Amino acid sequence: MSLSGRTALVTGAGRGIGRAIAVQLADAGVRSAVVARTEAELDETVRLVNRRGGTAVAISADLSAHGSAAEVVDRAVDALGPVDILVNNAAVVQPLGSTAELDIATWSAAFDVNVFAAVALALAVVPKMVEGGWGRVANVSSGVVARPGFMVGGNAYAATKAALEAHTLNLAEEVRDTGVTVNVYRPGTVDTGMQAWIREHGEGRLSVATYTRFVDYHANSSLISPEHSAGSLLTRLADSATGQVWDVNDQL
Ligand SMILES: NC(=O)c1ccc[n+]([C@@H]2O[C@H](COP(=O)([O-])OP(=O)(O)OC[C@H]3O[C@@H](n4cnc5c(N)ncnc54)[C@H](OP(=O)(O)O)[C@@H]3O)[C@@H](O)[C@H]2O)c1
């Protein structure tokens, strides 16, 4: 089964895993609306896609703002037509810190991007996908959901990803047998800005053991590339499997 000729909306596509997904979707013949806040990074993603002969349009938006998802989808549809593939990849890892010391507003901000934006985008595109009898939703999660106690000082992040996975698997059942698949993707430990941010800001916020692990990932060169991670998602996206938790480390 091929994705060629389809249209995607990829969030968090200004850098890291999202950018690599957009580029590899272009290689698969998919046109993408790429979404993030930082225009210069989106422009670079568009340039990379164009250089490979693909099509991408940049949509600069803050997905934490309520109402932004519907507006983003309208802009994507105006530019490229109906969205066939939604990749909810945008996320923040903050707030990091001892749970008792964190302001609940910072949890709320994390849920706005990591969960509510993904849900709102799904609400905006899934009905049309069902109507058309074909669609793909992939929600980028984290291995932390399998081991929530493994990231001490990252309680909010772990909770957002667990919520995202529950939403994903529940939605998958709701639309089963419609031609629309909905899956979780755990991308691995990837050499991106998010990892750099944790190394820079995690000391004293994460537990010593957790922080040391993040520093060691980098020092030991055990981080995988965004391209490697994106490639693993792309090999599964066309398939009709639904309601699954895909992990980059799965044996395919
Ligand atoms: N890197 C890893 O090791 C790792 C491990 C497990 C899971 N993940 C997951 O993989 C996904 C991608 O992570 P990454 O490492 O590539 O992160 P990244 O390099 O920090 O990129 C995150 C992207 O999300 C966008 N974003 C963040 N907040 C946004 C907002 N309010 N509105 C719109 N866009 C927003 C960022 O752009 P702007 O800042 O310009 O808005 C950026 O394009 C995330 O879901 C992350 O949780 C990553």
Domain ranges of the chain: 7-189+227-247
Distance 194 CA to ligand 1 centre (A): 6
Structure tokens at 168: 């994903």
Q: Is residue 149's pLDDT more than 90?
A: yes
Average pLDDT of span 216-240: 98
Mutate to test the pocket of ligand 1, among 15, 157, 184, 213 (most ligand atoms within 8 A of CB): 15
The CATH code of the domain at 7-189+227-247 is 3.40.50.720
CA distance 81 to 8: 10
Find out whether 46 and 56 touch, Cβ atoms under 8 Å. Answer: yes
Mean pLDDT value across the chain:
97
Question: Could you report the per-residue pLDDT of 12-46, keeping only the tens digit for each?
Answer: 999 999 999 999 999 999 999 999 999 999 999 99
Q: Which active-site residues does the annotation give?
A: 157
Work out which ligand 1 atom sits closest to the CA atom of 223: 3
Question: Could you report the per-residue pLDDT of 103-147, keeping only the tens digit for each?
Answer: 999 999 999 999 999 999 999 999 999 999 999 999 999 999 999
Q: Is residue 166's pLDDT more than 90?
A: yes
Alpha-carbon torsion (177, 181, 184, 188), positive or negative: positive
Distances (CA, A) of 192 to 82, 226, 241: 30, 7, 28
Structure tokens at 250: 């799965």
Q: Is 204 in the pocket of ligand 1 (CB under 6 A)?
A: no
Find out whether 32 and 39 touch, Cβ atoms under 8 Å. Answer: no
Distance 12 CA to ligand 1 centre (A): 5
Distance 77 CA to ligand 1 centre (A): 23
Please name every residue paired with 184 in a beta bridge, in sequence order, or none if there are none: 139, 245
